[in-house]
Amino acid sequence: MSENQESRTARTLAREIRDFSRMTTGALRFMEVCGTHTMAIHSAGLRKLFPDNLTLVSGPGCPVCVTEKSFIDQAMLTARQYDACLVTFGDLVRVPGSFGSLATLRSEGGRVRVVYSPMQAVNIAAEEAPRPVVFLGVGFETTTPTVAVTLTKALSEGVRNLFVLSAFKTIHPPLKLISAQKDLDGFLLPGHVSAILGSDCYTYLAEEFHKGGVVAGFEPLDILLALRDLVRMTVEHDFQIINDYRRVVRPEGNPAARSVVEEVFEPSDASWRGLGVIPGSGLAFKGPYARFDAAVHLPVEVPLTKDDPRCKCAAILTGSITPDRCGLFGRECTPEDPVGPCMVSSEGTCAAYYKYGVN
Amino acid sequence: MMGRLIRDLILPKLDRGRLGLLADSAVLSEIAGQIAYTTDSFVVSPIFFPGGNIGSLAVHGTCNDLACSAARPLFLSLGLILEEGLEIGQLEAILQSVATAADQAGVEIVTGDTKVVPRGSADGIFINTSGIGRIESPTGVSPDRIEEGDEILVSGPVGNHGMAVMLSRAEFSFDFELESDSASIWPVVERLLELGPGLKFLRDPTRGGLAATLNEIASLTGKGVTVDESAIPIDRPVMAAAEMLGIDPLLAANEGKIVAVVAGGLGGSSLDLLRDCPLAQGAAVIGQVNSGPPARVVMNTRIGGSRVVAEPSGELLPRIC
Amino acid sequence: MCLAIPMKLVEITREGSGKVDAGGVRTDVVLAMVPHAQLGDYLIIHAGFGIEVLDQDEAQVRLDLFRELAEVTQDLEDA
């Protein structure tokens, strides 16, 4: 489609969203589960097209945002104590821990290497041997299969100096928690996590919690289409799960991806910034893959961390408030000098609000 | 050892008449008109990147700073700080790039200095260049001259340098043909000078990319800046790489581009002036200075929305989320 | 939590690996999760891994829908 055609399509969808929104007197409040959706919406400036009674709040689908400060601390302590080389996705580099960030560690001469793919950690392990190499494992269901495949390769090649510090999380436990508690009308469901899990796995949202959900892609038109369907089903009280990303998401998802995750990992309890411990929401190493567990093989004493009590990331993550309601926003907490991960993560709600403006 | 380095390696490549005199100071001929003077140090890593190296960058960067003051680059000094153990082959290649870049830019390197520091004290090589140029704009370019209604143009596609450097990192395994756009852009400025007082302001969008320069214009003037996303030229491989790595191409550095603010109504004429300039292929008018929110850059997005283009903060990092 | 883009599978280098291309930029890709992928397919690439094969039929359905929606506005604005 030409650019002109695409903007005409956008105008049609925006008009339909407005028309449906007018069918209710109340506010419509939806949660964007996935941080990449938050970024995409801000990047395309879509908020300008929304009606006044439509609010999107950002959910916990931001692996960097929900990773506890103690994880960064543990990574840094591991690097220092064992002279380990840390391998990480770019997202984590500027997240503040209690003693600075990975960027701080790097500027002090610590070895921190940024990768695009977890598979590169295997090459780096070979380069750095015998020095231990620790891959920082953050991510949801889109990313965990990529790490699982990487570890099956590392196992078969007998790599001895590669370890993984796991902060992996799964999306259904917090989603269930939030569906029960929150004053939300429905969900913009993650596109690529759903490619792995399938669109069929969300039916409980409609059946148990009477909330609608639409699986959405990431192009501006994909998001507008999904919002139109979400608004329509909500004002019509026709709660269901709709898949608006059918070119990528199948009802059954990607079983090959799920089975390799099941081979390498098993569910564990995990601590989420802002949500506390959620049982069964994390991933731990299973069977022969326990050899890669950095926490076990490179143990460090991580001091108890105290989050800045003024930081409102917790409430922002659960959708209770918007960033501008946090007293630190734009003052003590900016992308240059972040207090909480919501500001430093490229997809954090606060960073997006700060960079792209509240329209 | 230093003497041999200078005599056998540096002078043969760089001497164009004055450097070889090895005088304590270069004595320059009289320069008619106002003189512009600038300095910059280059500590980049990696020192070699697709389409250039720290040597060519050091020449282009300083020449471009002069060009942004509407000054024709004339003379450069070259300060080299070499880390002990730097391979001679690498140094040779860097010096050759310096020579080629200087010749292409029409500048003479008239004085220099070389020091060797212990291993670990420098990242291979650090370079400082200072430049002298002659201002050729009678009215001068300055943010004070910018007014509402002025148009903003960019001399070509953005993000090439930043993305080329990012893609070439050892940790990534990308095959690509993208190269840095590193170049001395005086020829572009020279043409724009024909606008006379219609040329208000010039800036090269290096670190922080186009976003940094647009924000500079907004904050220096306190006025609003609006740009149209669909008007901003971006090469296809740059766009693809940016999408792959989750990087905003507006934040990626440019080393051979200029952003110009010209009087309202002169956008079209500016592009006409640049039409046959090889360094300004793909030049475009991208926006204007207006009465929008003060000191803010607003972008009308391709899809018909709008957002603020924020001041970039920190290094460019790829993301997976 | 899932930055991924469609890229064309242009080479299968060995068992489980290949090369994908978008806009002339190529990268290695792990094909373990998309064993049915064929040369010429568009794959959704996340962190150097193919996570799904783009369904061209569904892509066309979407395009047709969007074109229809574009026309609605075209008609409205022409009127």
Show Cβ contacts of residue B128 under 8 Å, excluding neighbours closer than 6 positions: B39, B40, B41, B42, B58, B77, B78, B79, B81
Residue B313 lies in a domain: no
What is the pLDDT averaged over residues C11-36?
95
Judged by average pLDDT, the poorest of A20-29, A91-100, B105-114 is A91-100
Contacts of A219 in chain C (CB under 8 A): none
Q: What is the CATH number of the domain that holds B152?
A: 3.90.650.10
The shortest CB-CB distance from C51 to any of A61, A140, A257 is to A257
B175-185 per-position pLDDT tens digit: 999 999 999 99
| B26 lies in the same domain as B95 | yes
Mean pLDDT of A243-258: 98
Classified by CATH at the fold level, domain C5-78 comes out as SH3 type barrels. (2.30.30)
Residue A359 banded pLDDT, cuts 50, 70, 90: very low
Contact present, B209 and B250 (Cβ < 8 Å):
yes
- Do B62 and B9 sit in the same domain of this protein? yes
User: Which residue from A10, A89, A357 is facing B304, i.e. has the nearest CB?
Assistant: A10
**pLDDT higher than 80, residue A189:** yes
- What's the whole-model pTM score? 0.94
Distance from CA of C73 to the nearest CA of B (A): 13
Answer whether C25 sits within 8 Å of B176, measured CB to CB: yes
CB A74 within 8 A of CB A98: no
Question: In the listed set B75, B104, B135, which residue is the last one of a domain according to the structure?
Answer: B135
- Domain harbouring B53, CATH code: 3.30.1330.10
| Strand bridging mode A212-215 / A186-189 | parallel
Where are the domains positioned within chain A?
1-308, 313-356
Tell me if B321 is assigned to some domain. no
> Which of A48-57, A138-147, A321-330, A334-343 is least confident?
A334-343
Give the three-class secondary structure for C57. Answer: helix
Which is more confident, A210 or A42?
Answer: A210
User: Domain containing B93: what range?
Assistant: 2-135
Residue B173: closest CA among chain C residues belongs to which residue? Answer: C27
Give the torsion sign (CA, A164, A166, A172, A178): negative
For chain A, which chains pass the contact test of at least 3 CB pairs under 8 Å?
A: B, C
- Cα–Cα distance, B70 to B76 (Å, whole number): 16
With cut-offs at 50, 70 and 90, classify the pLDDT of residue A259: very high
**Residues of chain A contacting residue B298, judged by C-beta atoms under 8 Å apart:** 357
Model confidence at C39, in pLDDT bands (50, 70, 90)?
very high
Q: Which of B135, B161, B182 is the last residue of a domain?
A: B135
How distant, in Å, are the alpha carbons of A275, A331, B226 from that of A310? 16, 12, 35
Report ipTM for this prediction: 0.96
- Interatomic CA distance for residues B46 and B68, integer angstroms: 26
- Name the residue among B174, B246, B320 with its Cβ closest to that of C25: B174
Specify the DSSP class assigned to residue A303: P
- Specify the CATH superfamily of domain A1-308: HypD, alpha/beta domain 2 (3.40.50.11740)
Q: Which residues of A touch C28 (CB under 8 A)?
A: 117
Predicted pLDDT at A346? 61
Out of A7-21, A176-190, C7-21, least confident range:
A176-190
Q: Are residues B18 and B122 in the same domain?
A: yes
Contact state of C19 with B175 under an 8 Å Cβ cutoff: yes
Residue numbers in A near B302 (CB within 8 A): 3, 6-7, 44, 220
What residues does A163 pair with on adjacent strands?
Answer: A134
Tens-digit pLDDT profile for chain B (321 aa)?
788 889 999 999 999 999 998 888 999 988 888 999 999 999 988 899 999 999 999 999 999 999 999 999 999 999 999 999 999 999 999 999 999 999 999 999 999 999 999 998 888 999 999 999 999 998 889 999 999 999 999 999 999 999 999 998 877 889 999 999 999 999 999 999 999 999 999 999 999 999 999 999 999 999 999 999 999 999 999 999 999 999 999 999 999 999 999 999 999 999 999 999 999 999 999 999 999 899 999 999 999 999 999 888 778 999 888
From the list B291, B290, B283, B250, the residue with the least C-alpha distance to B267 is B283
